[in-house]
Chain A
Amino acid sequence: DIVLTQSPDSLAVSLGERATINCKSSQTVFYSSTNRNNLAWFQQKPGQPPKVLIYWASTRESGVPDRFSGSGSGTDFTLTISSLQAEDVAVYYCQQYIATPLTFGGGTRVEIK
């Protein structure tokens, strides 16, 4: 199984400041046939199901604010919230879809400092 390790487990950031979440994969999630990284980022707010923010490591889902961005390739990925807003308080998960079993990172809780 591909193991995704997220860091940190939690972080507290002041409103308007940058939040950075890392996701490291135990194997590459780069799919050479498509030249894409099969990695997604999800946001889960309390009492809600997860919501996709980013797919193919860096493509923002329609309707997602542009303060959210994804980067990285191969085994190392980052989700950045450029200017944290109150509504961004949530747990964030990375997820790989290059191989089954599909797996998620352990999650990173983002709070307001």
Chain B
Amino acid sequence: QVQLQESGPGLVKPSQTLSLTCAVSGDSLSSGAYWSWVRQPAGKGLEWIGRIHASGSTEYNPSLKSRVTISFDTSKNQFSLQLRSVSAGDTALYYCARGNFYVDFYLWGQGTRVIVS
């Protein structure tokens, strides 16, 4: 059974870098899937941040592209999100998700809440 689990600091200061990790169990990052980050401000909708393919190629939302890096740590079977120069507008619940051949967000983690303050 594939499971995703986000982790990282719940509080980040403005202008600093938000760093989150998604630990994957029951699957391999090299399985051919896309692995994404999505965020959701409290009481609001969903915003795709970006994704990394099993090949290592990345795509980012242009609205965040200048500040985002998504990368693999294959030795730990996890992938990570770095969001630089954060502000209050980056406060949100951050989800990692796995895609499959027919939908980009087939499986989700439970999410981790990040407050920028």
Contact = CB atoms under 8 A, between A and B. Distances in A.
Interface of A: 1, 40, 42, 48-52, 55-56, 59, 61, 93, 95, 97, 100-107
Contacts, number: 51
A52 B47 contact: no
Given A49-B109, A49-B110, A49-B111, A97 B104 contact: yes
Contacts of B89: none
Interface residues of B, number: 21
Contact of B46 (A1, A55, A104): A104
Interface in B64-117: 95, 97, 102-106, 108-111
Interface in B14-66: 36, 45-48, 51, 59, 61-63
B104 A50 contact: no
Given A102-B36, A104-B45, 8 more contacts: A49-B108, A55-B102, A93-B45, A95-B104, A97-B103, A101-B61, A102-B104, A104-B47
